[in-house]
Chains A and B, each alone.
Chain A
């Protein structure tokens, strides 16, 4: 891999931004602009570059997927976007949506910028489903009755009606992930950051939740950054797929599939279309380069 690659990517990204800004009828505004993002960890005193120069524009209202071999910095990228970690270098610009009407009770406190849905179990075991989903609203100072009223349709939307009073230990893994999805959506953030939310679930549950996620997203059209290591999940869900390379983490290519698979989408329609195989082949070709010749990658995927 040559070192000139990322800088070429860099120029391309900047060129894209400039073009978009100059065109008055630009179809999609940039929601998150990332420039020269680097993250260096110190592992046993030795520096490890988790992200080595990421330049990226994520559009308002798009479903943006990130795929890459494990350890390529996907989680690191999301955590920095979420404000949970700070970058070593680089810039992140986020343009905020139009301020919403203050009369809207749902936004009586400031509307949050992002909500993260974590890879691991992240709902509080000591709160019932309702209070878990209402956590963000409580943090915004919305009174109890009000937040329970707001939360109710979201609990229903993720198929947990009748479980509002249940504690997490009474729920299956899939149901817990539904709670954390409801928690994120109920808080009505401008950006959703999802880190392999379905990776730990069985195939059928995963399919059902993917279908529901597509439905909820098509209703709300929030900007989503979705990390996955599954090519097929990336194709089914996203408007654009960003393939990353590992060690150090860089952007390899961004593939636009928004126009390839029309919306509203059905998982089975996407998977049975002839273009599906084509896109799969392209993404896999990019990923295979990363995994083959790195036996440790193969192993980490098996695990």
Chain B
């Protein structure tokens, strides 16, 4: 009586599909933060929590709306974006180049490796005063502190990526007598690309950390400045807006780098 093909068609029916296990889990992971926001809102309105520290989410969104209208939000965000963008490129490009050179040439590695090992453990924000001393309190010092933070992670991962290319690929190159340039462009570089992108992702994470910290103390604008000055003037809603924006910044950069990874490393797509 029962027909299997009909059964199978039924299984793909939209309702069954929506409530299949993975979709239910997805739904739950959307609901849980929403529920928290709702609880927060209720608690704030009922004065169960101290609204001086935890203003209602609707208040935060209202403040955000005002800040968007006055342009205050965009001014600070764009300043931070430019700093991250320039600083990131300043760190990533030489990081990739030096990392590739270290991976390919023993001599370069012998010279650079001890310098990297010796200075990497220093928390990058700790050298901000030194950098401000050298580059002044202007924009340059922000670029430089981000670049310094980014270069390490990109360089270390790139060098490791080249060093960890599977021997078989180098053997193939050798067997077909590929020249030095082709070994680089067709084997070493694409082989190291996944690790390079990993380095870029880690570098971006640190860049966000460092820029906010740098703007706390040494800036008159930026998302970090927004958060810090809101605290100083006790505009708590504004502070939450700053936190929200920095979280969005983190999301956006992660998505951007994932897209980059998807486009330039098609063989790692799942």
Contacts and interface: CB of A to CB of B under 8 A. Distances in A.
- A associates with B: yes
Interface of A: 82-84, 112, 114-116, 118, 120-122, 124-127, 135-136, 138-140, 167-169, 187
Contacts of B178: 135, 138-139
Nearest to A124: B169
B176 A124 contact: no
Nearest to A170: B267
A120 B171 CA distance: 12
Given A84-B171, A138-B182, A167-B266, A115 B190 contact: no
Given A124-B186, A127-B186, A115 B175 contact: yes
B110 interface: no
A140 B182 CA distance: 11
Contacts, number: 57
Nearest to B178: A139
Contacts of A140: 177
Given A126-B191, A168-B267, A116 B175 contact: yes
B171 A124 contact: no
A84 B182 contact: no
Contacts of B191: 126
A91 to B, nearest CB: 21
A126 B193 contact: yes
A122 B190 contact: no
Of all A-B residue pairs in the complex, the 5 with the closest CB atoms, nearest first, are: A126-B190, A125-B267, A136-B176, A139-B178, A139-B176
Contact of B176 (A115, A120, A126, A169): A115
A116 B177 CA distance: 12
B209 interface: no
Contacts of A168: 267
Contact of A118 (B168, B177, B193, B269): B168
Contacts of B175: 82-84, 114-116
A82 B176 CA distance: 10
Given A115-B175, A121-B168, 6 more contacts: A112-B176, A122-B171, A124-B186, A126-B267, A139-B173, A187-B176
**A114, A121, A125, A169: most-surrounded residue (chain B CB, <10 A):** A125
B169 A139 contact: no
28 contacts: A82-B175, A83-B175, A84-B171, A84-B174, A84-B175, A112-B176, A112-B177, A116-B171, A116-B172, A116-B175, A122-B168, A122-B169, A124-B172, A124-B187, A124-B190, A127-B186, A135-B176, A135-B178, A135-B186, A138-B178, A138-B186, A139-B173, A139-B178, A167-B266, A167-B267, A168-B267, A169-B267, A187-B176
B174 to A, nearest CB: 6
A82 B269 CA distance: 34
B179 interface: yes
A139 B184 CA distance: 12
A136 B179 CA distance: 11
A127 B175 CA distance: 17
A135 B267 contact: no
Given A126-B191, A167-B266, A120 B186 contact: no
A138 B174 CA distance: 13
A9 B173 CA distance: 36
A83 B175 CA distance: 7
A169 to B, nearest CB: 5
A135 B179 contact: no
Contacts of A122: 168-169, 171-172
